[in-house]
Structure 1
Amino acid sequence: MTTEPILQVSGLVKHYPLTRGVLFRKQVGAVKAVDGVDFTLGRGETLGIVGESGCGKSTVAKLLCHLERPTAGSIRFKGEDITNLSGRALKAVRRNIQMVFQDPYTSLNPRMTVGDIVGEPYEIHPETAPKGDRRRRVRDLLDVVGLDPDYVNRYPHQFSGGQRQRIGIARGLALRPEVIVADEPVSALDVSVQSQVINLLARLQTEFGLSYVFIAHDLSIVRHISDRVGVMYLGRIVETGRDAEIYDHPTHPYTQALLSAVPVPDPAAREHRDRIILSGDVPSPTAIPSGCRFRTRCWKAQERCAREVPALAVPAVFRDTAGPAAHDSACHFAETLPSAHGTPGRAAPREGANGNGPG
């Protein structure tokens, strides 16, 4: 796998205006769904994006696929700025960046057969396949994703949830894209079916040379499929690094709290694990706190956190080290937990304290 960037996102912002009035509408605020997101995606790489519901993950997915227009920032595909493309230029780029949606039923037209659904991209981009060859290509795609090619004349309601998601994946592969944005593609499926779909995505990545932006809230699934992970909180990425760096050596308090909430199947290990309980609720995206946006729930917060916005960079305390803790983290007081790295750390609120755990 190479590390050449195929997708570069810089300062990505999406604000939805809040207006008041009937005849004369006036903007009185904005919902800051995405508020300055930066990341790169290498060829053949999987970037996992995790975070609580409402943190802006799905909005990022829509922006990457141009289903929403960004308020600010840039998206570059293979070095070309595609942020403000329209018309034929945008249509050409969309062939290479496809999306797999969360709900495998509502994302499929119930009035269309599977053959028509998977073959519809060829109608929109007729130059990608000769008209007489499209039916064969649809059958081949169904076979690739593990479905019987003879299902082309069936309708979505005749399939299970896992089969419908395979249909959605086949539709996403029709134009042979280079990047697939998967927005929680397994969250609506049973656990046993989730593993089948995840293994399918991994196989297709190798077979077709795909790059994935994989969005989910299940941390164990993200670790299984991702090469790198970005943790989002209230519209921004607060920590990013290789999967082992994030899961075994988290340095941002929010990441540490998220990981402490992951269920542990081993009762003995569960008894000896410290659970971090966060106080308060997630602030409204219409009134984001000054400085560090996580400070209102953070046990490390100090006066500096209210004044300065922490940069997403390797913390100063780890810059001279070559260990796994030396990865980007947007925290003024970033440090690893004692259990994660064996170094002294500040005491965190534990289970039983007042407050709420991460959602």
Structure 2
Amino acid sequence: MTPNGASAIGTTVPEEVAFQQEVPKGEPILEVRDLVKHFPLTKGILFRRQVGAVKAVDGVSFDLMQGETLGIVGESGCGKSTLAKVLMNLEPATGGSVRYKGEEISRLSGAGLKAVRRNIQMVFQDPYTSLNPRMTVGDIIGEPYEIHPEVAPKGDRRKAVQDLLDVVGLNPEYINRYPHQFSGGQRQRIGIARGLALKPEIIICDEPVSALDVSVQAQVINLLEQLQSDFELSYMFIAHDLSIVRHISDRVGVMYLGKIVEIGTDLEIYDHATHPYTQALLSAVPVPDPAARADRDRIVLVGDVPSPANPPSGCRFRTRCWKAQPKCAEEVPALMAREWLRELAAHDSACHFAAEREVDLEK
């Protein structure tokens, strides 16, 4: 970038000037407000008409701070991956706002969107399908340089790719190999190296370890933590495994049926959860000690997850909640700290009757 905002290839992109501003550690770098993504349901063959919508993401709000890891958890189908795709503009938002460094990015296209994607990258869930099997590792990791040639001049790209392989713990001499010649953990490291190529500030990790063995999961998680420290990255980390999310995250958001139902620090969520759904999730975490497992007080939810095309009125969790009252069907609970909660329990929770769980210690 030149001082007047002109890129090395001669194109002036006003948005890029704002995107180069530094954000102090602990300040919001990504601000999401009332984000909505609905997928239309249509009927008919010749004359198709919309008869409804799948409300995959329905009013999500949160801040991602500079240098922090925000974990997003929830059962399958709650909208976690759709949220990631909308933030990356891989799926256009139906409504709401996404602001990066104070600039609205949810409706950008062309040069503006290109500038955003240089600073916000994504590591995909499946290391077997997210890499092109017909391209070498060097071509896969170096492809971002073809789109953003100002980052690495053509003569320096091979060296830049080899440096990235070394950073993620792979032999730089693997540059001419193909994806099928690597294990799952190595492929995910290649995906991480590709995400780092443009020196982004935010990386969205969409279940990056769910397809890996437990021992390999630990290696990838440790790698992500080391890279965050070395490159001052901010992560949004999506996962099912609550123990992994607690290990890597500074704050945790819990999603249910397209909405965030509770958000707070890892200590607030794991040790002082106030939303019934979060408490049910935590009670299902596997316990390695057989004696402790026998004494645990497990919450078993009844009923199926409602359809996102026709969610319940009021609180979406009320059809499976043991605390449900008539008020829950009539009024949507706000994501806020309730006045009767104290200390670590006083964090944002979307429940009319938010309270810490009372465990029967005599059981």
Structure 1 residues 125-170: Cα deviation after superposition (integer angstroms, max 9, x where no partner)? 1111111001100000000000000000000000000000000000
Asked if 1:269 corresponds to 2:280, the answer is no
Count of residues paired in the alignment: 339
DSSP-derived class of the 1:277 partner: coil
Equivalent pair of 2:284/2:299 in contact (CA under 8 Å): yes
Counterpart position of 1:216:
239
Aligned to 2:346: 326
Two-structure CA RMSD over aligned residues (Å): 1.2
Instruction: Provide the identity percentage.
Output: 77
* Mapped pair 1:114 → 2:114: no
Gaps of 5+ in 2: 1-23
Off by >6 Å, runs of 4+ in structure 1: none
Q: How high is the TM-score relative to the length of structure 1?
A: 0.93
Paired residues of 2:70 and 2:235 also in contact (CA < 8 A): yes
Paired position in structure 2 for 1:183: 206
1:59 lines up with 2:82 in the alignment: yes
2:91 to 46, 62, 68: 68
Output the CA distance in 1 between the equivalents of 2:95 and 2:293.
44
| Partners of 2:297 and 2:359 within 8 A in 1 | no
In 1, distance between residues paired with 2:318 and 2:340? 20
Report the Cα distance in structure 1 between the residues aligned to 2:213 and 2:184, rounded to whole angstroms: 8
- The match for 1:12 is 35
User: 1:301 is matched with which residue?
Assistant: 324
- Find the counterpart in structure 2 of residue 353 from structure 1: none
Instruction: Provide, for residues 280-314 of structure 1, a one-character-per-residue CA deviation record: whole Å limited to 9, x for no partner.
Output: 00000000000000000000000000000000000
Which residue matches 2:115? 92
Check the 8 A contact 2:335/2:350 in 1, yes or no.
yes
SS at match of 2:319: helix
Is the Cα contact below 8 Å between 2:98 and 2:106 reproduced in 1? Answer: yes
In structure 1, what is the equivalent of residue 359 of structure 2? 339
Cα distance in 2 for partners of 1:324, 1:242 equals 9
Partner of 1:355: none
TM-score, structure 2 normalization: 0.92
Q: How far apart, in 2, do the equivalents of 1:317 and 1:306 lie?
A: 22
Code of the residue aligned with 2:353 in structure 1: it is F
Of 174, 185, 208, 1:151 maps to 174
Deviation at 1:2, TM superposition (A): 2.5
**2:222 is the alignment partner of 1:199:** yes
1:316 Cα deviation (Å)? 2.5
One-letter amino acid matched to 2:87? L
Distance 2:282 2:303 in 1: 18
Residue among 242, 255, 261 paired with 1:232: 255
Secondary structure of 1:324's counterpart equals helix
**Alignment partners' CA distance in 2, 1:215 and 1:80:** 24
CA distance in 1, matches of 2:72, 2:359: 24
